[in-house]
Chains A and B, each alone.
Chain A
Amino acid sequence: MLEIKNLQAKAGEKQILNGISLTVNAGEVHAIMGPNGSGKSTLAQVLAGHPAYEVTGGEVRFEGQDLLDMEPEERAQAGVFLAFQYPVEIAGVSNAYFLRAAYNEIQKARGKEEMDPIDFLDLVEEKLKLVEWGPEIMSRAVNHGFSGGEKKRNEILQMAVLEPKLAILDETDSGLDIDALRIVANGVNKLRRPDNATIVVTHYQRLLNYIVPDHVHVLAGGRIVKSGGKELALELEAKGYEWLTEEAVTA
């Protein structure tokens, strides 16, 4: 589904990604872990097309298409979804309006029919259960005045409605209490299907108790320094990141 080859990127003058290669197949969950500044959030944002980063080398193919050549909205329309670490507040625009606009833009891009507000609310009603919310959240402005936990739940709600092929969760666990973490993780698990894939970017092993990955990759200095199965996350929890980052330096 996703094939990253030797990806390099910088923000301003600062080189952050130094050659990342990674293959994600349908049905898989990959965890990207690493210390602060290792480039894991940058990788997530580069895949979604964040304008703050400039790709300086390598290539990314998503279902055979050149992902890096696509506008961010085209990537979303093709089925890439980024759950933001810091979801943006949009005053005055209701969740209902925003989500339906997003849903319809994606439908339109795929040559499918747009949905009217009534039918759309029916669709959303089902999805709301996934994040244990009532319909009143739909009339609130997008993330405006939401708590940290509510913002993350809203990201998962959007993901549930838009049904991406590839979901990238960027530190979705940061700042969540245990209840919110459970709700968010539960939502993600229920959305798992054999034909979609998930990349979970996280600093802590905690989230991976709930969302169990097939593969774990450790980033340091903008490179993948170690890959393994889910047991690698537990090893990191016990030993920290230092033994790997030192290995990376001496290697």
Chain B
Amino acid sequence: MTTTYLKDIETVARNGGAKAPWLEALRRQGAERFAATGFPTTRDEDWRFNTLAPLTQAEFQLAPADLGGVTAADVAPFLYAIPGVRTLVFVNGRYAPALSSPGEVPAGVTVRNLAAALGAQHPALEAHLGRYAEPGKGGFTALNTAFVKDGLFVHVEKNVDAGAPIHAVFLSDGKVGNAASHPRSLIVVERGARVAVLESYVGPAGGTYFTNAVTEAVVGDNAHLEHLKIQRESELASHVGTTHIHQGRDSRVTSFAISLGAAFGRNNLDINLDGENIESQMLGLYMGRGRQELDNHTNLLHAHPNCGTREVYKGILDDRAHGIFNGKIYVTPLAQKTDAKQTNRALLLSDTARIDTKPQLEIFADDVKCTHGATVGNLDQLAGFYLQSRGIGGALGRKILVYAFAAEILEEIPYESVRQGLEALVMARLDERGEG
């Protein structure tokens, strides 16, 4: 049902029209594109495994601004005690200063909410916003672009180390049923700079809302970005999150995508390796139960020589959960000496859980090393025997093995408090399973 959205777009345009003409034009472009194409359907190749109808047929209205009902206690479960962390909290897509602690930032670093940065006309905005996540790329990005208003904005000047990570928490309060928010974030890391950003998408249990997020990150030559996306939405919510990362030569990116929540959760991760000697790592963990559908679509564009990528996604699916992994690696004729390694492993804990996995290697250069491996299976038998030989069998043995499977991804997270927090969540999930 696109009509509700179109009505909301009109209202937004009428009420709080953008001051800057370029922004006005960007939103209009998004609106026009969405009006023309609407949402994708399962006839679209990129969405053919999905169960889209419950999301695209429902009427989601633009979520109201927080009316002050959300307290620090509502946010606390989603925070991590990273030393020096700077936290920005957004409620229903709008910045909530009272719940945030942005702290001090070093000279040359800007950390603000997007609306404030737009108001202050930060020059990086016009140069970068909407340049990577093109509205033409799909209905969800177009819709988000039509509503560009608030989200995280980070800018790090060249050769500056931004220091402690920045954590943006996007919380939907779930107080109004079928409310939609469209957080839009931009991270600009100039040449030789370095920053770490966490994005959490969260909501209270039982909330039936829709988060449609887009993040663009541009990582300059020789710059470093560490990006963690942690999706802990309500298990009745819908989440479509698109992250576009554009890398310059000699740059380094590590991306984590951890998905635990949402009835329908889709991550799109597009990385454009736009220079030589780039290295990127993409790590993902998704854990579904009940009837959750968790989808990771990653898309790597190797456009220049001598770049290396390592991608490892792991899924744990229980009950009737449905996992989807589509890993596209596109290597242009120019991108010789590409070294791309992709692994997707899924663990099915019940007979009714399922996974659709599709590696998609399109290679047009002849001197490259591209590997992919997909395994779907049950628990590691050898490790199982090892546990048994120590007296640990049955449900406890299985729990430890599943936990170890997940921990292989989590242990690469460089922040102890985040790692421990997520490990505890995984363990709690497995405890809730009981005997299986």
A interface residues, Cβ below 8 angstroms from B: 48-51, 71-77, 81-82, 84, 87-88, 90-93, 98, 101-102, 105-106, 109, 141, 158, 162
Contact = CB atoms under 8 A, between A and B. Distances in A.
B17 interface: no
Nearest to B411: A92
Contacts of A90: 383, 386-387, 400-401, 404
B386 A88 contact: yes
Given A105-B391, A162-B391, 14 more contacts: A73-B389, A76-B388, A84-B389, A88-B385, A90-B386, A90-B387, A90-B404, A92-B406, A92-B407, A93-B400, A98-B390, A102-B390, A105-B392, A105-B396
Contacts of B387: 73, 90, 102
B345 to A, nearest CB: 13
B389 A92 contact: no
A76 B390 contact: yes
Given A72-B385, A84-B386, A91 B407 contact: yes
Given A48-B389, A73-B394, A162-B390, A91 B400 contact: no
Interface in B372-406: 381-383, 385-394, 396-397, 400-401, 403-404, 406
B389 A77 contact: no
B8 to A, nearest CB: 44
A90 B400 CA distance: 9
- Chain B contact residues, majority secondary structure: helix
A49 B393 CA distance: 12
Interface residues of B, number: 25
Interface of B: 381-383, 385-394, 396-397, 400-401, 403-404, 406-408, 410-411, 423
Contact of A91 (B385, B392, B394, B404): B404
A162 B391 CA distance: 9
Contacts of A71: 388, 393
Nearest to B386: A88
A101 B389 contact: no
A91 B410 CA distance: 10
B369 to A, nearest CB: 25
Contacts of A162: 390-391
16 contacts: A49-B385, A49-B389, A72-B393, A73-B387, A73-B393, A74-B393, A77-B391, A88-B382, A90-B386, A91-B408, A92-B406, A105-B390, A106-B391, A109-B391, A141-B411, A162-B390
B400 A98 contact: yes
Nearest to A88: B386
B411 A76 contact: no
Nearest to B407: A92
Contact of B423 (A49, A92, A101, A158): A92
B12 to A, nearest CB: 45
Contacts of A75: 389
Given A73-B394, A88-B383, A92-B423, A49 B388 contact: yes
A48 B394 CA distance: 16
Contacts of B400: 90, 93, 98, 101
B404 A72 contact: no
A141 B404 CA distance: 9
B209 to A, nearest CB: 32
A105 B387 CA distance: 11
A223 to B, nearest CB: 25
Contacts of A141: 407, 411
Contacts of A51: 381, 385
B388 A73 contact: yes
A73 B385 CA distance: 8
Most A CB contacts (10 A, CB to CB) among B383, B385, B396 go to B385
Contacts of B390: 73, 76, 98, 102, 105, 158, 162
Contacts of A77: 391
Nearest to A86: B382
A162 B400 CA distance: 19
A91 B403 CA distance: 9
Nearest to B406: A92
B430 to A, nearest CB: 12
B411 A101 contact: no
Most A CB contacts (10 A, CB to CB) among B381, B393, B406 go to B393
B132 to A, nearest CB: 34
A244 B204 CA distance: 73
Contacts of B381: 51
Contacts of B391: 73, 76-77, 102, 105-106, 109, 162
